[in-house]
Structure 1
Amino acid sequence: MNKKDGAYVAAARPADPEDAAPVNPDLAKLRGYTQAKLFLAEQLRLQREALTTLGREESGRRCGELLVKLAEDRFILAVVGQFKRGKSSLMNAIIGRELLPTGVLPLTSAITVLKYGATERLVVRRENSLFPDELPVAALADYVTEKGNPSNQKKVKTATVELSVPFLRRGVEFVDTPGVGSVVAANTATTYGFLPECDAVLFVISVDTPLTSLELAFLREIREYVNRIFFVVNKLDLVSPAEQEAVLTFVTDTIRQQTGGAAIRVFPVSARQGLAARLTGDLAGYEQSGMKALEETLAAFLAEEKSQAFLAAVLHKALQIGDAAMEQDFCQEAAGPGDSGQAREKPAGTARRDSSAVALVMAVQAKLAALAKRMQENQPAALLAGDFLPGIPLSAEAVNPAAFAVPAPAPAKRLPELGGKGCPVCRHLENYGREFFRRWQYQITMQEQDQAGFAAELGFCPLHTWQLLALASSHGASVGYARLAEEAARRLHRISDGPAREEKLRQLVHDSRNCRVCRLLRQAEADYIGQLAVWLGEAAGRRWYRRSQGVCLRHLSLLVAAVAADDQRFLIDHGAQRFEEAAEDMRSYALKHEAVRRELQNRDEEEAYRQAVIHLVGERYVCIPWPEDGIL
């Protein structure tokens, strides 16, 4: 450290090679993915609250499930298809062990999930049950097969097997679904009901009966929910090479027609031969089975494209939820009178709240649609580069500081604060500040425009920042301050790259000169002093004030400046009398304390020191270093 002009300045240090090190591109992609995920989560949270306000409980619940999905970073890769297409055999071949039950008759009757876990175990979750059953993996067939659990009589919601398999390490949940189209109608319903949960699917077709009308209808249903589909033609070993070629051509052409000419890739495999080759270590046989090409494609997808596909899937589902809810809302509005023939009437406050909620859902949908468009146009760069947020700007009102002002209180007809102890002006400001913070901690949690305005002003001064946090929950503070922290980071980056760094950095530091709450309190203080001055001009006001404790010295000076000369003398004399009384009470309290006669002490004597301090410096919650104090 060197001393210069009475101040210490850090000495120049040698250049560090790490200062010029390029940013790790993988870390940049990870940060872009994280930003995209959190942006989606913020929009989903807003949409959930708005839909709940509108009474769309089911839609709100689905938004909540997507939030859980984002928080867990869960990617669901499901194996789907008509019954007896070899789905379970295919999964066994991919994980390299005979784990899932296979057979000639329809087997899978419940959703079976394979996920990564250091210790192998089976976790069974049942419908309408809070606590799952933890069982040995060997018991799986008792819960997911038609023999062990016919038509899912045991009400199994999911049976999850945790395995230490490299394929599952990247947060993938590999899901086996019941085959559709069997005589067991419950199995088909289970699979169709699970489609909205899927992020990508392996659509399994059999070479012996390729693409029935039922499968094509199922494929159309899948495409309503899932964008990424891997097509697998299984049981390749059942037909000759010439027949294989004909089947693959037919399947490829048919799927291309169904998907509108989109580029597709079909993987011909023999899951049975692939598993046998893998269990015996026959690498050539494994490659010949077609499983090697499929597994390498899946591995590359999970390593390079999964993040994009995961967020695209969540985004697609979020748009579906909002669109369906809004369509339902508009249909109900258009219906007009209800079953009774009477038009629906709502209280004015409810109608305004519903209108605001509808507007919020529409705004969220617009931003999600804009993000989806950019992702489609720039895949995968737009998402992973983290540059999509500036491409979806908020409205101009969102960053207008006046857009989130809390209205000043209406002029008081009476001044009830004069009836208590302490400074009435300080108490008024404390109550006003508490009401502001009560409203504001809700606004920056729920209102995106207010979050943007809050960030644009870089929050409040230190005192009012901590007063706000004293009322806010940790969740509310995390939501409300996230955008502010991002704005601080952006401004610091700009300062780092430009001139006059020290001056610009000082401008980011908040004090009472650039704090919204301080400005509001100064205005509220001036308004209240004006009201008090008018009230003291009346005989009733002077009588009331004479019986009160009066105001603190700061507010006495402001009040004296606002009243006539006769009232000035009255106020000053009143203040002197109250200080004299406080001094007498403090001395009396100290005397009784020292004489061990504490039972003689009264409430006024016990509180005299505190009242004197309040009238000297003001209430502690409104002790603000105002600019006119000359200490800023």
Structure 2
Amino acid sequence: MSMQEELSVYGSWRTRVEQTIVRIRGWLFESNLSDAHNDQCIEQLLLKLRDDRLVVAFVAEFSRGKSELINAIFFGDQGARVLPSSSGRTTMCPTELMYEPARPACIELLPIETRRGTTTVSDFKTQPGAWRRLPLDMTSAASMQQVLGRVSEQRKVTIGEAEQLGFHIDLSGENGLQPDANSMVDVPAWRHAVINMPHPLLRQGLVILDTPGLNAIGAEPELTLSLLPAAHAVLFVLGMDTGVTQSDLSVWKTHVTAAGGSRQGRLAVLNKMDSLWDGLRSEAQIDAEIGRQIASCAATLGLPESRVFPVSAQKGLLARIQRDGTLLARSRLPQLERALVEDLLPAKRDIVGAAVEHDAGGLLARTH
């Protein structure tokens, strides 16, 4: 089953559970067992189901092809890249892609200046006036690219301003932001971005978290303290041509598996597999090299080899745009998508089901 089909099945299951809870509420009312406490419990259960979201985070150091992978998996049917993807650093701030029907299709951008205070991103989400909102024209891929490209914006500030915003300065550029000849520093223009768009997968409760390079000095603290630990799945994107670098390993240990050392729901992706398609290697030689990289990556990260996936995001996206089944198969993107579907959704259903069963069981126990 495709991810969209699996999400649809999960959504149907969630709807059936919701209908059962509504019937329980009706039974309590008809049996004169309803009271303020029980009503509140019922509403909390329904809210838990209706607001239930499935969060998939993409984490990588710079230039690993992370945004291209998101484009390939989720937006190949758009006929073009949706998220900015080019050499170098393109995602300058944490970016959430989701869908809330009550809001229009848009991108909301939180200015970097908000880091001067102590207010968190979560708190700012209750303050609409703090965000810059730009509409999204879902009928125009070019317009969407232009608007969504705002997440790549930077601005120049003085060294003092950069430090006030929480960025570390290093004249060498090795352990912080490097000033230019005029003692100015490039910092992200935005602290956080939320993209609200009616994509079929987002409509069904999927939330995609696209992160900037986490080794950036001054990375948003809330990203590592709350957003990443709360993600149901984290795809850690590496380069096939580089393997696991020291910088990658630092990000993995510090940010991806820091919460209790858990590797549940964590997958490693060796992107840019097409760098091996040089016309000089045979398919057998390519497969052998891929196998060596998988084994090395798995050993370094402490993952089973079955949770390391070699892909070519760029070729996968191209294949989807051109409807080229042969190229899509060679990109190995479908294997990664299958793992996401088979790993993520059953586990999510078990977690939500257990929570609802516990709360509903307690509710019914109080009525006897």
TM-score (norm 1): 0.37
The match for 2:148 is: 140
Q: Which amino acid aligns with 1:139?
A: V
Q: Higher helix fraction: Structure 1 or Structure 2?
A: 1
Q: Does 1:251 align with 2:294?
A: yes
CA shift at 1:80, angstroms? 0.3
The match for 2:339 is: 297
Q: Does 1:82 align with 2:61?
A: yes
Equivalences for residues 211-250 of structure 1 within 5 A:
211-221=244-254, 222-225=256-259, 227-240=264-277, 241=283, 242-250=285-293
The match for 1:73 is: 52
The match for 2:33 is: none
Which one of 301, 308, 316 corresponds to residue 266 of structure 1?
A: 308
Query: CA separation of 1:484/1:214 partners in 2, compared to 1, >3 Å: closer, same or farther?
Result: closer
TM-score (norm 2): 0.60
Equivalences for residues 15-34 of structure 1 within 5 A:
26=13, 30=17
| C-alpha contact 2:316 2:327 (8 A) present in aligned 1 | yes
CA shift at 1:26, angstroms? 4.9
Q: Does 1:307 align with 2:343?
A: no
Question: Once the two structures are aligned, what percentage of the paired residues are identical?
Answer: 27
Query: CA separation of 1:87/1:140 partners in 2, compared to 1, >3 Å: closer, same or farther?
Result: same
Alignment RMSD, CA only?
3.6
The 2-side partners of 1:178 and 1:30 are apart by 37
The 1-side partners of 2:222 and 2:355 are apart by 35
| C-alpha contact 1:113 1:160 (8 A) present in aligned 2 | yes
Q: Which amino acid aligns with 1:185?
A: I
The 1-side partners of 2:363 and 2:222 are apart by 44
Q: Does 1:178 align with 2:212?
A: yes
Equivalences for residues 336-485 of structure 1 within 5 A:
383=354, 386=357, 485=363
Long gaps (5+) in structure 2: 1-11, 22-46, 137-145, 157-185, 278-282
The match for 2:82 is: 99
The 1-side partners of 2:48 and 2:93 are apart by 21
Q: Does 1:163 align with 2:197?
A: yes
| C-alpha contact 2:155 2:189 (8 A) present in aligned 1 | no
**Tell me, what secondary structure is at the counterpart of 1:224?**
coil
Q: Which amino acid aligns with 1:87?
A: K
Query: CA separation of 1:89/1:148 partners in 2, compared to 1, >3 Å: closer, same or farther?
Result: farther
Which one of 188, 193, 196 corresponds to residue 152 of structure 1?
A: 188
**Tell me, what secondary structure is at the counterpart of 2:336?**
helix
The 2-side partners of 1:151 and 1:30 are apart by 47
| C-alpha contact 1:121 1:163 (8 A) present in aligned 2 | yes
| C-alpha contact 1:256 1:264 (8 A) present in aligned 2 | no
The 2-side partners of 1:307 and 1:151 are apart by 40
Q: Higher strand fraction: Structure 1 or Structure 2?
A: 2
The match for 1:552 is: none
**Tell me, what secondary structure is at the counterpart of 2:257?**
helix
**Tell me, what secondary structure is at the counterpart of 1:140?**
helix
**Tell me, what secondary structure is at the counterpart of 1:267?**
strand
The match for 1:108 is: 91
**Tell me, what secondary structure is at the counterpart of 2:335?**
helix
Query: CA separation of 1:486/1:125 partners in 2, compared to 1, >3 Å: closer, same or farther?
Result: farther
| C-alpha contact 1:140 1:159 (8 A) present in aligned 2 | no
Query: CA separation of 1:27/1:233 partners in 2, compared to 1, >3 Å: closer, same or farther?
Result: closer
| C-alpha contact 2:52 2:205 (8 A) present in aligned 1 | yes
| C-alpha contact 1:110 1:178 (8 A) present in aligned 2 | yes
Q: Which amino acid aligns with 1:383?
A: A
The 1-side partners of 2:324 and 2:276 are apart by 22
| C-alpha contact 1:76 1:174 (8 A) present in aligned 2 | yes
**Tell me, what secondary structure is at the counterpart of 1:173?**
strand
Equivalences for residues 570-589 of structure 1 within 5 A:
none
Q: Deviations over 1:340-375 (max 9, x none)?
A: xxxxxxxxxxxxxxxxxxxxxxxxxxxxxxxxxxxx
Bigger relative contact order (CA 8 A; separation at least 6): 2
The 1-side partners of 2:304 and 2:54 are apart by 24
The 1-side partners of 2:295 and 2:313 are apart by 20
| C-alpha contact 1:29 1:384 (8 A) present in aligned 2 | no
CA shift at 1:245, angstroms? 3.1
The match for 1:210 is: 243
The 2-side partners of 1:191 and 1:291 are apart by 27
The 2-side partners of 1:223 and 1:247 are apart by 24
| C-alpha contact 2:316 2:328 (8 A) present in aligned 1 | yes
CA shift at 1:296, angstroms? 2.9
The match for 2:6 is: none
CA shift at 1:274, angstroms? 0.8
**Tell me, what secondary structure is at the counterpart of 2:329?**
helix
CA shift at 1:159, angstroms? 1.3
The match for 1:123 is: 108
The 1-side partners of 2:73 and 2:155 are apart by 25
CA shift at 1:298, angstroms? 2.2
Quick check: which has more Rg, 1 or 2? Answer: 1
